[in-house]
Amino acid sequence: MTRIDIYDSTLRDGAQAQGISYSVEDKIKIVERLDAMGIRYIEAGNPGSNPKDLEFFSRVGSLRLKHARLIAFGSTRKVGISVAEDGNVQSLLQAGVGAVAIFGKCWDYQVTEILRTTLDENLLMIGDTIRYLKQKGMEVVFDAEHFFDGYKANPEYALRTLAAAADAGADSLCLCDTNGGSFPEDVLTVVGAVAKRFARPIGIHCHNDGELAVANTLMAVKAGATQVQGTINGIGERCGNANLCSIIPNLQLKLGYDCIPQENLEKLTPLAHFVSEIANMTPNEKAAFVGKHAFAHKGGMHIDAVRKSPTSYEHINPEAVGNSRAVLMSEVAGRSTLLTRINTIDSSLTRDSPETRQVMDRLKQLEYEGYQFETAESSFELVVRKVLGKYQPFFDLKEFKVVATEPAANGVNSIAMIKIRVGDLEEITAAEGDGPVNALDMAMRKALERFYPAIKEVKLTDYKVRVLNSDAASAAKVRVLIESSDHLENWTTIGVSTDIINASWLALVDAVEYKLVRDQERLAKR
C-alpha cells in the first residue's frame, strides 16, 4: 500500500480565510487533534509574520507529538540581500522546529512583475535559501508557488525553479495551483512529467477557485505525488483549499492509499466539527463524508431501499468516517420510517396501528403550516408524545409580555414579564435582555429554575429565523430554529408563527421540555 504524507495547513493557509482568527490556545488544541488523527505534517504558521505565531512556536515545542512533524512556513530570501541578513528566514530557525516550507516564485510573470527582479536572481533566491536551511540541518519542503500557471506560460523556466530547489537539497517539491484554476487532466499531465524528471517526493497544493481542488489533488496522486497539502473542511483564502476531509477518505477507502492509521478514520467527522467550532464557523451540513446531511435520507423510497441495502444510496459506510445515517422526519417519509421513531417511544405500535396514522396526519398538518422536522427532531419527538398521550406538560404558560426600548443601554433593550403555573403553584418573574427573545429566555429560566434546577445546564447555542411566505411582507409567517445543549447532548427545536416572538417562545418551550423529558428518562433507567 503506497504511503501518502498528509500535510495539513489549517493553521497557516486556513487562517487566511475571511473571518478566521485563531488564538494561540486555539492553535495548540488543533495541533493536538491533528496529531491524534495521525497527520504527518502540520504547517503551523509563519513565525516571521506576526507576534502571535512567534508566541505559538515558543509554546508548541513542549507538546509531545506522536505522529506529526511541525513545519514553519516562510519565503525565499528577499531580492538583493543574503540569506543571513533576511529576518524572515532567521525567524524560521528561531521557531525551534526541524522542518520548514519555503515558497518561491515559479511563474516568470510573477518574478518580473511582482517581485520586480530577474529570472536568474529568483533562481538564486530559491537555491540560496534552501541550501542555507539544509546546512542548518532542516528538512525543507519547497512550495513551488504558481507552478501550474508558470508551467503553462513558460515550462522551461518553471522546471528550472524546481531544479534550483532540488540541487540545493530540498527534501520534497510541492507543486502549487495557487490561483486554483487548473483542470484535473492538466494536473495529471504536469505532475506526471515532474515526477518522472525529479527523483524526490512530489507534493500537491491546490486551491478551490474552480471547485476542483479535491479532484486535482486526486489526479496529482495518481500521477505520482506522495505528499498532499490541504486544510480541514477546505478552509482558506478566497474559495478555500483542498479539503482533507474529502481527500483522505477518497484516497484511503476508495483508492487504497495509506494516509493515516486505519483506526483513526472514524475520528474524521469529530475532527471536522471540532475545527469548525474552534474557528467559530457554522459546519457545512452538506459536506461530503463529514456533513450532517452526508448520509441523510428523506424520501420514503430512498429510506426503504437504504434499510434493505445501505449501498443502494450510500457510497461508503458512514461509520467508517465517524458519521452516521440520518433518517429524516418529513411529509415525504414513509410510514415505516415514521414507525422506527415512534417505536422508540412506544414499541407496541405497528405500521398499521391507528396511532401511527394519527401521528402521520398530525405531522403532515404541521408541515403544511410551515414546520419542518428534519432539522428539529427534538420537537418531532414531542409531537409524537403528545399524539400518543405520552406527554405531560412540565408547566403551563398563563401569559407573557415583552417590551422593547431603543436606544439600548449597556446592551439591554428589552424586558420580558412571564406568568407560569407548575402544578398548583404560580410564578411571576421578569428579566432584562439583549433583544426580546433573549429577555424572554431569561425570564422563562428565572421562573422555572425554582422548580427544575437542571434548566441551568441548558445553553442556547444557535438561533435561526426564516421567513416562510415573503409575499405577505410584515405579516409573513416565520420559522424559528433553536439549537440547545447541555453537558450530554445537543438538540434542535422549532416554532412557527406570524409573530416572531411567539415562534421563538414555542421553540424555547420545546427546548426546555425536551431537556426535562430526557432527564426524566435517564432517572427512570437508573
Residues paired with residue 204 on neighbouring β-strands, in sequence order: 175, 228
Whether 362 contacts 382, CB under 8 Å: no
> 207 vs 339, which has greater pLDDT?
207
496 falls in which pLDDT band (50, 70, 90)? very high
Q: What is the mean pLDDT of residues 224-247?
A: 97
**pLDDT at residue 334 greater than cutoff 60:** no
Question: What residue ranges define each of the domains in the chain, with the CATH number in brackets?
Answer: 5-260 (3.20.20.70), 396-525 (3.30.160.270)
Rounded Cα gap, residues 111 and 456, in angstroms? 60
**pLDDT at residue 329 greater than cutoff 60:** no
pLDDT at 336: 60
Residues paired with residue 104 on neighbouring β-strands, in sequence order: 144
pLDDT at 332: 47
pLDDT at 273: 87
195 falls in which pLDDT band (50, 70, 90)? very high
**pLDDT at residue 360 greater than cutoff 90:** no
Q: What is the mean pLDDT of residues 80-99?
A: 93
Burial annotation 410-419 (CB, 10 A radius, 16+ → b, else e):
eeebbbbbbb
16-30, 42-56, 78-92, 253-267: lowest mean pLDDT where? Answer: 42-56
pLDDT at 328: 61
**pLDDT at residue 167 greater than cutoff 90:** yes
Summarised one tens digit per residue, pLDDT across range 259-302 is: 999 999 999 999 998 898 788 787 898 999 999 888 877 666 66
pLDDT at 304: 66
> 154 vs 499, which has greater pLDDT?
154
Q: What is the mean pLDDT of residues 252-258?
A: 97
pLDDT at 235: 97
Residues paired with residue 258 on neighbouring β-strands, in sequence order: 3
Rounded Cα gap, residues 230 and 244, in angstroms? 6
133-137, 254-258, 430-434: lowest mean pLDDT where? Answer: 430-434
Summarised one tens digit per residue, pLDDT across range 418-475 is: 999 999 999 999 999 888 999 999 999 999 998 999 999 998 888 888 888 666 555 6
Q: What is the mean pLDDT of residues 59-64?
A: 86
Whether 279 contacts 20, CB under 8 Å: yes
Q: What is the mean pLDDT of residues 247-269?
A: 97
CA angle (296 as vertex; 293, 297 as ends), nearest 5: 145
pTM greater than the 0.85 cutoff:
no
Rounded Cα gap, residues 343 and 350, in angstroms? 8
Q: Name residue, grid cell 405579516.
A: 475
> Would you call the peptide bond into 318 cis, given omega within 30 degrees of 0 as the criterion?
no
Instruction: Give the percent of the chain with pLDDT over 70.
Output: 94
Residue 75, all three cell numbers: 519565503
Residue 349, all three cell numbers: 405500535
pLDDT at 331: 47
Rounded Cα gap, residues 82 and 400, in angstroms? 73
pLDDT at 376: 78
> 389 vs 6, which has greater pLDDT?
6
Q: What is the mean pLDDT of residues 236-251?
A: 97
48-52, 146-150, 429-433: lowest mean pLDDT where? Answer: 48-52
4-18, 317-331, 475-489: lowest mean pLDDT where? Answer: 317-331
> Which phi and psi angles does 248 have, rounded to 5°?
-60, -50
**pLDDT at residue 36 greater than cutoff 90:** yes
pLDDT at 404: 86
